[in-house]
Every structure is written in C-alpha cells, then in structure tokens.
Structure 1
Amino acid sequence: MTEYKRCPSCLEQVLSTNFLLHSLYCERNIVQCELCDQRIDINEKEEHMILHQKKPCFYCHLNYEQHLLQTHQKNCSNKPLLCVYCDLMINQQEMAQHQAKCGSRTEQCTICKKHIQKKEFDIHISICQQPSPPSPKREKLKQKLCESSDDLSVQEIKPNPQQKRPQKKQIKNCAQNQKKEQKDQKQQFQKGFLDDDEDEELQKVLQQSLNQK
C-alpha cells in the first residue's frame, strides 16, 4: 500500500519513498508569503508579489490586487450595462430600477397600431405577426355566399319552364301563318286560272276541290 507524508514546508502530500529528498529541498527553497500566507518557491517569490500589487478598478476607481481585480470588474456595481429598452448605458447598481421604469413606457405596434409596454413588446410582436384564425361569423357568411352563388349558377343553366310556352305558341302561330299564306297563294293561282277558262263545269269542279282542301 502506498504511503504519503505531509511536507512541513510546502504542506503537500508526498510519497514516503520521495519524502526525504522533497523535504530537504523545501527546507531550503520554500518560503511563506507575508501577505497571503501561501507557500511559494523562493525563485518565484518576485513573480508572486506582483500579484499583490494593487491597481484601481476601471469603473469604481478603488484599488484591488491584480489577482482579484479581474473578478471584481466583472461584478462592479459601477460597471455600465446596456439597457434593452432604450439602448442607454446604465450603471449595474441602477439597472433594475431603470428597467422597471423604462420597460413600462409604451411603443406603438406597426401592425395593429396599439400602444404596448416595451417590456411586453417582443412577445406582442411575435403574436401580432401571426395570422389570426377566421371568426365563426366570417366563415358562416362565406359559406352562405358560396351557396348563393351555386344557386344562381343553377338558375342560369336551368331553363325556365315559363319561357317555353310563349316559344311553342310563337312557333305554332308562325306555322299556321305560313300554311295560310300558301293556301291563299294557291287559291289566287287557281282563281286566276279559272277566270281564263270558259268551261263552267270545269270551274265548278275545281272550285269544289278547292273548298274541300
């Protein structure tokens, strides 16, 4: 089973087989930082002390050690942030109050022309852009219009029985007139022929034949 021992100089766990050499090295080279109590190699002490040098924060101008400065600046209360409603740069500590007021302002929707609060504007636009489903009243009216157009088309194609009667009567009268005209023409021809004939008996026979027709 592998055994470990803790080095009194660097406070690390070291294999028992290497402990003697390791401890001898640490006794001569490992020192403790006066500022952070960290055990460091004496050859790296200068580099380590640079980290303890303080620099001012770019936003609040307070001094922080370099190894803490980057973390501080990410969360500094004076760090300016962009407001999502008005595109202004507002300090992080004032952003919540600013957005509560700024988001309550209204802006007119270009689609429905209603005035919507800015904090709800994106949601409203996504809904307003979608086509609204047709209302039941509109669908019912559309159905009635379609049915009415179908009835009209049927009426246009289907012949009106009342229009047939005057057409048949007109054709019948026309045929009777033509027949009468032919008969009159025949009578005039026969009359003219009989007027020239001197045979009275022949005239009587032709007259009787004409009357029978």
Structure 2
Amino acid sequence: MAEFLDDQETRLCDNCKKEIPVFNFTIHEIHCQRNIGMCPICKEPFPKSDMETHMAAEHCQVTCKCNKKLEKRLLKKHEVLKTELEAGRGGSSL
C-alpha cells in the first residue's frame, strides 16, 4: 500500500503546505481552507478551532527565573542552556 501512495502524483496545498495526492486534492482543499489555519508566528498548520489555544500555550510571553522574557515554547530549551552554562559545560547563547 505504501508503494502505491509513493507512486501517486501530488500537489502542494497552498493552505497547509502539505503534498496531497491529486486524486484527493479538491476535497482536501475545500476541507483545509475551511478548517485549517497557519499560525502567523511558527508557520505551522493548526485547526482554526485550536488556534487560540495554540497561541496561548506556545507563544505567550513568560519570564524565566533569570528575568529574561521569551515565548513559553522556548523556556525549557533556555533553562537547559542556562544550566549548562552555569555548570561550565559550555552551551550556545541564550
């Protein structure tokens, strides 16, 4: 079955930026334009009904213990890098 799908001609959906089999493209496009939106910040497709939750959960501003403000989705990586720097193991910029 996977080989069958690999051989299918596809088109890029302008809305969700995914390759869709041509035989299914029209119905996908109708559904996608009605129900899927692109996050203006991370450029990931999400159901329009979930966009407000996504924005609040991923892109809200939080303050680290070091008083740096950053997006919530970046906080964990920031804290790991900060810990590595404090431990003298190196790390990249925060």
TM norm structure 1? 0.35
* Structure having greater relative contact order (Cα 8 Å, sep ≥ 6): 2
Counterpart of 1:15 (choices 21, 26, 41) is 21
Question: Aligned pair 1:6/2:9, yes or no?
Answer: no
CA distance, structure 1, for counterparts of residue 14 and residue 28 of structure 2: 10
Gaps of 5+ in 1: 82-90, 97-213
What does 1:36-115 correspond to in 2, within 5 Å? 36-50=42-56, 51-58=58-65, 60-76=66-82, 79=83, 92=86, 95=88
CA distance, structure 1, for counterparts of residue 13 and residue 74 of structure 2: 29
The number of residue pairs the alignment matches comes to: 82
SS at match of 1:40: strand
Report the Cα offset of residue 35 of structure 1: 2.4
More helix by share: 1
1:57 partner amino acid: C
* CA-to-aligned-CA distance 1:15-72 (integer Å, 9 cap, x gap): 11211111001111222223233332201102210210111112x1211111110011
More strand by share: 2
Report the Cα offset of residue 8 of structure 1: 1.0
Question: Aligned pair 1:28/2:22, yes or no?
Answer: no
Gaps of 5+ in 2: 1-6, 90-94
CA RMSD for the aligned pairs?
Answer: 2.2
TM norm structure 2? 0.73
Q: Which has the larger radius of gyration?
A: 1
- Look up the match of 1:129: none
